[in-house]
């Protein structure tokens, strides 16, 4: 009875040899490598697919630009101005959120290297559409955000469409205090598109000789108002200029020769400013001018939406305290008792109600006909550094409650997770190959 080994030997000797045994060995090795590579590629593909699928869950989420071109009646001021989460995305990758209800300063977290982070002061905007907030990070804008207050450096148009600011020389590494840096010009940004227009006078020196200046929008949001000197640092050579925000045209509205800065005001059309008891008004497009003389020194004057009602803050003694006067027309202006000292005129809710600021959060809504006063609050949320700028036209609409901004994460975290998964998958592939080799041996 032949053994199994003998029977297999006989079978092998009788089988036809169609290929050299060495070729069969190489063919088997190639087939084994292809199967191993296919398995590794499939495993890596699965890892990549899982990593990409996890990005929206681990990151800050997709930022869809909000509809911006809305009727003014659909736009609102928030009762609380919230800054975005320090790790929230900005307009560079999440899109614009204009028109803006408010602009503020807060601290933001930014990646520094692979694992580090740094904290910087940054500008944010609050949407007038739904109250969401987002970091404003256009390159031309972010380089000029290094101050502790927006007043005197930034301006928000009454309709929330335009943001204006002072441009200045880059700060030396050893000095980040903006007040010590020279002014080189101004800029306006369309909050709907993020487009920035730089404003400058080619005949003015570089840097400008102005060290104290005004920056504000006209009441109709058509002009950015600034003052500067063409001849150097001479306080009597400053002139008040209206810049058309859509064309960049420079229109002087007051010639030089005044020692003090003008006190800017507002009206439904044109440019308003005051000196002493005289309130001046000019239409830059037509050049039409008018002047009204009031009974006391004017700190700020404003005409109502009907262009008849008027309110103004006066400085009776020349050094305070300030007081409010208002009426349905210039001929019917009366003192208004607020119980507190007014600080600025923030806007109008309608033809007969003016909004008067008192401090950081407290405002008074005054009926210029009856003198009745209602108290309102617009608060700055946690982390907001300075008093936010508000879009004055939106006082005409109801204030809305704004929820806390959503929590965001370090934008590098998804890549950390994906990298960890990829490294783990690579280790797994190596272990599988080693195990197969050990079994084959």
pLDDT tens digits along 247-277: 999 999 998 878 788 999 999 999 999 999 9
Whether pLDDT at 42 is above 60 = no
What are 190-202's pLDDT values in tens digits? 999 999 999 988 8
Of 15-29, 57-71, 391-405, 406-420, the one with minimum mean pLDDT is: 57-71
The alpha-helical segments, DSSP class H, found in 59-86 are none
Of the candidate ranges 164-173, 334-343, 367-376, 397-406, the one whose mean pLDDT is the lowest: 164-173
With both helix axes pointing from N to C terminus, report the angle between 413-440 and 21-58 in degrees, rounded to the nearest 10. Answer: 160
57 phi, psi to nearest 5 deg: -80, -35
297-319 pLDDT, tens per residue? 999 999 999 999 999 999 987 77
Q: Is the pLDDT of residue 345 over 60?
A: yes
Instruction: Read off the pLDDT band of 68 (50, 70, 90).
Output: very low
pLDDT at 55: 46
Q: What are the CB-based long-range contacts (under 8 Å, 24+) for 362-371? A: 364/338, 364/340, 366/311, 366/324, 366/326, 366/336, 366/338, 368/304, 368/309, 368/310, 368/311, 368/326, 368/327, 368/328, 368/336, 369/327, 369/328, 371/334, 371/336, 371/337
> Does residue 212 register a pLDDT over 90?
no
Mean pLDDT score across all residues of the chain: 80
Q: What's the residue count for the chain?
A: 441
* pLDDT at 399 exceeding the cut of 80: yes
C-alpha torsion 158→162→163→164, nearest 10: -90
Regarding beta strands 80-81 and 379-380, do their DSSP bridges make them parallel or antiparallel, or are they unpaired?
parallel
Residue 180: pLDDT over 60: no
Q: Which of 375-379, 403-407, 436-440 has the highest mean pLDDT?
A: 375-379
- 137-171 residue pLDDT tens: 876 665 455 555 687 789 999 999 999 998 877 65
Query: What DSSP string describes 241-264?
Result: EEEETTT--EEEEE-S--SSPPEE
Q: Which residue has the higher pLDDT, 224 or 413?
A: 224
pLDDT of residue 60: 43
173 falls in which pLDDT band (50, 70, 90)? low
**pLDDT higher than threshold 60 for residue 231:** yes
Distance between CA atoms of residues 198 and 141, nearest Å: 11
Mean pLDDT for the stretch of residues 212-224: 91
How would you label 194-216 residue by residue, b for 16+ Cβ within 10 Å and e otherwise?
beebebbbeebeeebbbeebbbb
Predicted pLDDT of residue 14: 63
- pLDDT-derived band of residue 413, with 50, 70 and 90 as boundaries? low
């Amino acid at each position: 009875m032949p053994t199994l080994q003998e029977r297999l030997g006989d079978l092998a000797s009788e089988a036809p040899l169609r290929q050299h045994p060495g070729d069969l060995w190489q063919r088997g090795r190639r087939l084994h490598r292809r199967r191993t590579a296919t398995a590794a590629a499939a495993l890596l593909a699965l890892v990549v697919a899982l990593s990409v699928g996890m990005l929206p869950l681990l990151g800050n989420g997709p930022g869809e630009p909000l509809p911006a071109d809305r009727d003014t009646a659909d736009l609102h001021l928030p009762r609380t101005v919230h800054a975005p989460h320090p790790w929230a995305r900005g307009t560079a990758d999440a899109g614009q959120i204009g028109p803006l209800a408010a602009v503020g300063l807060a601290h933001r977290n930014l990646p520094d290297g692979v694992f580090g982070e740094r904290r910087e002061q940054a500008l944010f905007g609050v949407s007038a559409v739904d109250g969401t907030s987002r970091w404003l990070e256009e390159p031309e804008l972010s380089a000029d955000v290094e101050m502790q207050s927006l007043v005197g450096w930034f301006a928000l148009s009454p309709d929330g469409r335009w943001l204006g600011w002072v441009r200045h020389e880059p700060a030396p590494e050893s000095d980040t205090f903006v007040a010590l840096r020279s002014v080189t010009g101004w800029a306006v940004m369309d909050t709907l598109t993020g487009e920035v227009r730089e404003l400058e006078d080619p005949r003015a020196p570089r840097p400008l000789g102005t060290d104290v200046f005004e920056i504000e929008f006209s009441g109709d949001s058509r002009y950015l108002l600034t003052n500067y000197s063409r001849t150097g640092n001479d306080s009597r050579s400053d002139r008040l200029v209206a810049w058309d925000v859509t064309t960049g045209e420079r229109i002087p509205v007051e010639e030089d020769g005044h020692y003090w800065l003008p006190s800017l005001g507002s009206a439904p059309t044109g440019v308003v400013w005051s000196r002493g008891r005289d309130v001046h008004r000019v239409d830059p497009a037509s050049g039409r001018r008018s002047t009204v003389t009031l009974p006391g020194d004017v700190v700020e004057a404003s005409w109502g939406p009907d262009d008849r009602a008027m309110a103004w803050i006066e400085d009776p003694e020349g050094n305070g305290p300030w007081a409010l006067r208002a009426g349905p027309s210039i001929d019917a202006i009366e003192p208004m008792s607020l119980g507190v000292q007014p600080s600025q005129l923030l806007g109008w809710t309608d033809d007969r109600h003016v909004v008067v600021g008192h401090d950081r959060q407290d405002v008074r809504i005054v009926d210029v006909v009856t003198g009745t006063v209602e108290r309102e609050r617009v608060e700055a949320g946690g982390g907001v550094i300075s008093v936010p700028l508000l879009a004055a036209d939106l006082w005409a609409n109801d204030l809305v409650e704004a929820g806390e901004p959503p929590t965001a994460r370090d934008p590098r975290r998804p890549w950390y997770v994906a990298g960890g998964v990829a490294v783990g998958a690579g280790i797994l592939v190596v272990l599988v190959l080693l195990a197969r080799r050990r079994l084959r041996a």
